[in-house]
Amino acid sequence: MLSVEDWAEIRRLRRSEQMPIAQIARVLGISRNTVKAALASDGPPKYQRAPTGSRADGFEPRIRELLRAYPQMPSTVIAERIDWPFSIRTLSGKVAELRPVYLPPDPAGRTTYLAGEIGQHDFWFPPVELPVGFGQARTAKQLPVLTMITGYARHADGLLIPSRAAEDLFAGWWRLLERLGAVPRTLVWDGEGAVGKYRRGGPVLTAGTHAFRGVLGARVVICKPADPEAKGLLERVHGYLETSFLPGRSFTGPADFNAQLGEFFARANRRWRRALGCAPADRLAADKQAMLPLPPVAPAAGWRVSLRLPRDYYIRLDSNDYSVDPAVIGRRIEVIADLDRVRAFCDGRVAADHERVWARHQTLTDPAHWAAAQALRRQRLTMIRPPAEPEVQIRCLADYDDALGLDGGIA
């Protein structure tokens, strides 16, 4: 079966490089029919591999101690120092992953970007607490801000999202690209777990990232560890936000934060920049013209779950429970949620539609669902209640005295 990576690369070569189908088949060593099928499909092939750990994970603290003291120590010497009992290849892979953290920084020269070439993405964690309703407040570590900047125009944007989970990350990522109106040909990320990580020889992307970039037809690059210059444009944006956006502001909740952040970026993108000689808004049209167009079919983003609704007519999403129409108890429903709404569908009909709550451990009940559940319970009790006993007339005792000829006296 075609892998997700090959499927994504086929679509990139076709959409971004305009490569003929026959040439794609020769380059990747596959048949033309396979290439045509990959281009005709709207989603990636269903392939998942369960994550596995490494035998070297338990030795990581000792490896770090040695690398902290001697960053260039060979893997074979490290194996002797820690009494490594397994294959050296397993240890070498772990050392290669950890070594860049302890090597001296590698200075970078001045970088220029072509129009449409690159877009940088990362998370910003503002030092604030936001009220999220139900008497709760969440910190920046729990509510990160997904940020983006284009390389040529330096057009910046950002969006507060509910969590760093892959579902919320891809939903926020897609929303930023929609607001931009185009797709940079190369999308740069730091080592974010939901996106991928850097390995020796190149980045290793998650299946979800391959599926996402495959629909976009773009390339995703993971920066090396301890190399902030690789996305220095965005690092400067984060510093600018902390010194120019946060001071003197207060927020009533996530929606208010996003509204103020959007207004701030709209003004910032119209300001003149010395490095550019103009404002980012003045170069944005040329930048977008060289980018890829948005795909006709949106990539799968957000939460998508298919399940059979239990008697307890609630579904759980991100620690919160949302009610569903109890009329579909026992039937299969599809739950689709994004950054704003939580919806459930049964046979194409809406069975639930809630505003997504960013607080934790809450139960959200639609009054219509509660009333329907009460009506169904009364109907159920009526059906299973035993039949009532027939009424029996109770006769007066004097009637029996008259019938037996008694005068009612005491014997």
Q: For the domain that residue 240 is a member of, what is the CATH number?
A: 3.30.420.10
pLDDT recorded at residue 111:
66
Q: Above 80 in pLDDT, residue 93?
A: yes
Mean pLDDT of 169-179: 95
Are both 270 and 216 inside the same structural domain? yes
CA 260 – CA 242 distance, rounded (Å): 14
Kindly indicate the confidence band of residue 144, based on its pLDDT and cuts at 50, 70 and 90. Answer: very high
Q: Is the same domain home to 267 and 380?
A: no
Q: Give domain status of residue 410, yes or no.
A: no
Domain identity same for 137 and 165: yes
Same domain, 33 and 177: no
Q: What is the pLDDT of residue 106?
A: 66
Task: Give the CA dihedral 348, 350, 355, 359, nearest 10 degrees.
Answer: -80
Asked whether 382 and 341 are in contact (CB, 8 A), the reply is no
Domain check: are 97 and 132 in the same one? Answer: no
| 155 and 267 belong to one structural domain | yes
Q: How confident is the model at residue 408 (pLDDT cuts 50, 70, 90)?
A: low
| 393 falls within a domain | no
pLDDT band for 197, please (50, 70, 90 cuts).
confident
Q: Do 116 and 185 have their domain in common?
A: yes
- Which two three-digit tokens encode residue 393? 């007339």
Q: Does residue 228 share a domain with residue 155?
A: yes
Same domain, 78 and 140: no
Cα separation values, 65 from 54, 71, 263, 269, Å: 19, 10, 47, 45
Report yes or no on 228 lying in a domain: yes
- Choose between 281 and 101: higher pLDDT: 281
> Is residue 228's pLDDT more than 80?
no
In-domain check, residue 296: no
The pLDDT value given to residue 217 = 93
Question: Is 171 within the bounds of a domain?
Answer: yes
Residue 401 lies in a domain: no
Residues 94 and 32 placed together within one structural domain of the fold: no
Residues 246 and 308 in one domain: no
Mean pLDDT of 242-260: 93
Cα–Cα distance between 270 and 275 in angstroms, integer?
14
Question: Is residue 404 assigned to a domain?
Answer: no
Residue 92: pLDDT over 50: yes
Q: What would the mean pLDDT of 90-101 be, rounded to a whole number? A: 89
Determine the pLDDT at residue 47.
58
Average pLDDT over residues 244-266: 94
What is the C-alpha to C-alpha distance for residues 21 and 44, in angstroms, rounded to an integer?
18
Mean pLDDT for the stretch of residues 241-265? 93
pLDDT confidence tier of residue 411, bands split at 50, 70 and 90: very low
Confidence at residue 224, expressed as pLDDT on a 0 to 100 scale = 81
Could you list the residue range(s) of the whole structural domain that residue 354 is in?
303-384
Of 49-58, 96-105, 141-150, 391-400, give the lowest mean pLDDT range.
Answer: 391-400
Q: How far is CA 265 from CA 121, 294, 321, 349, in A?
A: 15, 22, 35, 39
User: 374 is written with which tokens?
Assistant: 């009460």
Average pLDDT over residues 177-186: 95
Averaged pLDDT score across all residues of the chain: 88
Sign of CA dihedral 76, 79, 80, 81: positive
Which residue reads 């931009």 in tokens? Answer: 180
Of the residues 290, 311, 334, the one at which a domain ends:
290
Residue 38 lies in a domain: yes
Q: What pTM, to 2 d.p., does this model score?
A: 0.67
The answer on 152 and 9 residing in a single domain is no
Last residue of a domain, one of 290, 314, 346: 290
Task: Examine the pLDDT at 397 and tell me if it is beyond 80.
Answer: no
pLDDT at position 39, please? 86
Average pLDDT over residues 50-67: 85
Structurally, the chain folds into a number of domains equal to 4
